[in-house]
Amino acid sequence: MIKGFRDFILRGNVVDLAVAVVIGTAFGAVVSAIVKDLLTPLIAAIFGKPNFSTLTFTINHSTFLYGDVINVVISFLAVAAAVYFIVVVPLQRIQRMRARPPVEVFTRPCPECLSDIPKQARRCAFCTTQVTPVA
């Protein structure tokens, strides 16, 4: 049972996933810091509010921190945009460059000997059987 668990953990895709989660978490922290320390103050300078996280409202002695929600939404949009423009767009471009047009087939099998002959041939070069050309 322990051997099976060890084999599962050491499989390539599990290790790759763990590395991706760690890097993604670190990337999210960097983007959150950029949003909190650079973008939010820039947006606040435009709209006159120094920090979104202090925006609140109260209903029946319950405080709602909608400023934090604004910060998280901006962070999410920044992470999504960064992933899209840094990962998705370049990968799509690489896939388009690697895609090859379909190869046109210029041969067909001879009905008698099954050798490959040109589509426009009237006679098989291997068994000399007469065949009708294909347009």
Looking at every residue in the chain, the average pLDDT score rounds to 83
The DSSP output letter for 35 is I
Mean pLDDT on 78-105: 84
pLDDT of residue 109: 93
- Measured N-to-C along each axis, helices 40-47 and 66-83 cross at an angle, to the nearest 10 degrees, of 120
Instruction: Kindly report, residue by residue over 94-121, the tens digit of the pLDDT.
Output: 888 888 787 788 899 999 999 999 999 9
Residue 79's contacts (CB-CB under 8 Å, 6 or more residues apart) are 27, 28, 31
